[in-house]
């Protein structure tokens, strides 16, 4: 939908003092706070004012769309699982909680067929991790 069509449609709505108008399938609702002061007539609104109203509506719609996309990503993201459930032979994220003087940290590694936890080169870690997480899917990592 072009910005010019939106502005023209909003100008027509303001000139006709409509409280609701639909332009190419998009419905615009005029809130009480958007009504011009009594000293001004609806036809007195400038293109700049109408443009600002349209920008605010687009900004709100874009923010809602971004939030919806983020919610989908959050739901699709893997979460930390108990270490006993870690798969064997797959690259995964391993997490160690802070203990015995070590800081909490995460490393890429895998659980071998024998049950040992190793880095991606096969070298065993000195301690057993506390949790694991699957790597995000390619779709999540590359958009």
**pLDDT computed for residue 8 by the predictor:** 67
Smallest Cα–Cα separation from 28: which of 53, 63, 46, 49?
Answer: 53
- The pLDDT score that the predictor gives to residue 19 is 65
* End-to-end alpha carbon distance in the chain: 25
> Which pTM value belongs to this model?
0.46
Query: Rounded CA gap, 45 and 56, in Å?
Result: 16
Q: pLDDT value at position 48?
A: 78
Domain locations in the chain as residue ranges: 3-76, 81-141
| Beta carbons within 8 Å of 131's beta carbon, 6+ residues apart | 80, 81, 82, 83, 94, 95, 97
- C-alpha distances (whole Å) from 49 to each of 21, 34, 115, 122 are 17, 10, 67, 64
Collect all residues with Cβ–Cβ distance below 8 Å to 92 and sequence separation of at least 6.
Answer: 86, 108, 109, 110, 111, 132, 133, 134, 135
Q: So what's the pLDDT on residue 138?
A: 62
Query: Which pLDDT value is given to residue 50?
Result: 72
User: By the 8 A CB rule, do 93 and 106 touch?
Assistant: yes
| Structure-token pair, residue 52 | 């600002």
Please tell me the predicted confidence (pLDDT) of residue 132. 92
Instruction: Judge contact between 132 and 92, C-beta under 8 A.
Output: yes
Average pLDDT across each block of 10 residues of the chain; the chain has 143 residues. List them in order.
62 64 66 49 68 75 77 74 92 85 86 90 88 76 50
């Amino acid at each position: 939908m072009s910005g010019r069509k939106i502005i023209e449609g909003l100008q027509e709505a303001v000139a006709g003092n409509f409280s609701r108008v639909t332009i190419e399938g998009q419905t615009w609702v005029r809130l009480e706070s958007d009504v011009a002061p009594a000293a001004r007539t609806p036809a007195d609104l400038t293109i700049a004012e109408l443009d600002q109203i349209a920008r605010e509506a687009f900004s709100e719609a874009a923010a809602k769309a971004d939030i919806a996309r983020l919610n989908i990503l959050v739901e699709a993201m893997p979460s930390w699982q108990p270490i006993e459930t870690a798969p064997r032979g797959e690259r995964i994220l391993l997490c160690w909680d802070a203990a015995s003087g070590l800081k909490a940290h995460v490393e890429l590694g895998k659980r071998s067929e024998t049950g040992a936890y190793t880095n991606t080169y096969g070298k065993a870690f000195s301690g057993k991790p506390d949790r694991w997480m699957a790597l995000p899917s390619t779709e999540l990592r590359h958009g």
